[in-house]
């Protein structure tokens, strides 16, 4: 055990401190330090804010920090704002993330409506592959994320194939099976499943590349939607995002009050899930009432309103709509030329 040094304090008491305490103390500046600093030669203009600015501007073109110092003030403000253009909410990300939300919503609606008239499995398969490639190249979603997001649409498509293959009349594929599978029902079921997948992929691309606030702002600006409905939709979407955390809080509160089993875990059954669902419904209704009162107090819809960060709309958004609609039309026309055509179901 190390010996402690005894240091007298101002009050006359003795304090014990470790041996290295003195080494860690800040050395008191002495007179010869000031004399040595005054005698050191210093070039004129080598200190101060002007000297630092001149040093940054004098860096070579390839050195780090030279490009940032040479940027115009607008670019520096845009970089500090997180990559957004000053005065708008145009994010610096993938191609689809930089497009106008209203244009993307209109393209999604047009493609979904046109897909309802296509019943050719080959054409729908080509459209599905094009949609998958477009989502992976124009959004931040990876293959695993896209696969996880498409699970509900794939499950719904499997149900469509099963129901149509078993219920529609036609030529039996395998007569030895205990159930009757028809070729016509299977073809129609596959077409309906691919149709669902196409619409699902387009919806995933829209949701993954469109922030809710920018969508509501764009609808108010360019679609002339009333701010009362726009902000009500935005508030409802925010409320839906909070439901999973509310459900976990309710289940945690029930687990605290629930009796314990032999394994020490709380016993929960269908009754607990039912009471949790009812509590979640009550919480949602009360939250909706508070949101409605807040929206009413803001006076939405009483007159024209200004927009804090307007969403830009330019020729590149029109180019996006033209490219998507042209690709969809050419694919459908190729399917019609192949002899399968367009069908109305």
Structural domain contains residue 104: yes
- Whether 245 and 110 share a structural domain: no
142 and 244 share one domain:
no
* Residues 293, 295, 301: CA angle, nearest 5 degrees: 130
Q: What is the residue-level pLDDT of the chain in tens, covering all 345 positions?
A: 444 444 444 544 545 545 554 545 555 555 555 445 544 555 555 455 555 455 454 454 444 444 444 444 444 444 444 444 444 445 556 788 889 999 999 999 999 998 888 888 888 889 999 999 999 998 888 999 999 999 999 999 999 998 888 888 877 777 777 778 888 888 888 989 999 999 999 999 999 888 888 888 888 888 888 888 888 888 888 888 888 899 899 888 888 877 776 776 776 777 778 888 899 999 888 888 888 888 777 776 666 777 788 888 889 999 999 999 998 888 888 877 775 544 433
- 323 in the same domain as 208: yes
Please tell me the distance from the alpha carbon of residue 43 to that of residue 321, in angstroms, as a whole number.
62
Residue 27 lies in a domain: no
Q: Does residue 136 lie within any of the structural domains?
A: yes
Give domain status of residue 190, yes or no: yes
* 103, 200: one domain: yes
My answer on whether 164 and 207 are in the same domain is: yes
Specify whether the CB–CB gap between 205 and 96 falls below 8 A: yes
The count of structural domains within the chain is 2
Kindly state the tokens that stand for 76. Answer: 């520096």
**Could you tell me if residue 329 is inside a domain?**
yes
Q: Is 241 a domain residue?
A: yes
If asked whether residues 198 and 330 sit together in one domain, one would say: yes
Residues 148 and 251 in one domain: no
Residues 164 and 234 in one domain: no
Residue 262 in domain:
no
Question: Do the beta carbons of residue 89 and residue 309 sit within 8 Å?
Answer: yes
Report helix, strand or coil for 185.
helix
The answer to whether residue 135 is domain-embedded is: yes
- The domain of 122 spans 98-213+317-337
Distances in whole angstroms, Cα of residue 35 to Cα of each of 30, 48, 208: 9, 21, 65
């Amino acid at each position: 055990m190390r010996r402690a040094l005894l240091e007298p304090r101002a009050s006359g008491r003795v304090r014990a401190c470790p041996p290295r305490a003195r080494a860690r103390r800040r050395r008191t500046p002495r007179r010869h330090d000031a004399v040595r600093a005054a005698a050191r030669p210093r070039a004129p203009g080598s200190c101060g804010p002007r000297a630092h600015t001149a040093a940054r501007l004098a860096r070579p073109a390839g050195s780090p920090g030279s490009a940032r110092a040479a940027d115009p003030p607008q670019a520096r403000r845009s970089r500090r704002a997180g990559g957004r253009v000053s005065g708008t909410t145009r994010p610096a990300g993938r191609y689809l993330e930089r497009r106008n939300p209203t244009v993307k919503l209109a393209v999604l609606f047009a493609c979904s409506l046109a897909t309802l008239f296509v019943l050719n499995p080959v054409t729908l398969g080509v459209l599905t592959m094009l949609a998958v490639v477009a989502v992976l190249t124009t959004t931040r979603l990876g293959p695993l994320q896209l696969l996880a997001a498409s699970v509900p649409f794939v499950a719904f498509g499997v149900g469509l194939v099963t129901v149509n293959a078993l219920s529609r009349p036609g030529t039996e594929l395998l007569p030895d099976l205990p159930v009757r599978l028809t070729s016509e029902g299977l073809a129609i079921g596959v077409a309906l499943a691919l149709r669902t997948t196409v619409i699902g992929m387009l919806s995933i691309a829209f949701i993954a590349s469109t922030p809710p606030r920018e969508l509501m702002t764009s609808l108010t600006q360019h679609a002339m939607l009333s701010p009362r409905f726009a902000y009500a939709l935005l508030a409802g979407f925010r409320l839906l995002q909070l439901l999973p955390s509310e459900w976990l809080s309710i289940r945690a509160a029930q687990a605290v009050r629930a009796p314990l089993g032999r394994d020490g875990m709380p016993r929960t059954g269908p009754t607990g899930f039912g009471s949790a669902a009812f509590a979640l419904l009550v919480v949602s209704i009360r939250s909706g009432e508070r949101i409605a009162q807040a929206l009413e107090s803001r006076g939405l819809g009483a007159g024209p309103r200004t927009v804090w960060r307007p969403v830009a709309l330019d020729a590149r958004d029109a180019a996006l709509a033209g490219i998507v609609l042209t690709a969809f039309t050419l694919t459908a026309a190729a399917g019609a030329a192949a002899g399968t055509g367009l069908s109305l179901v």
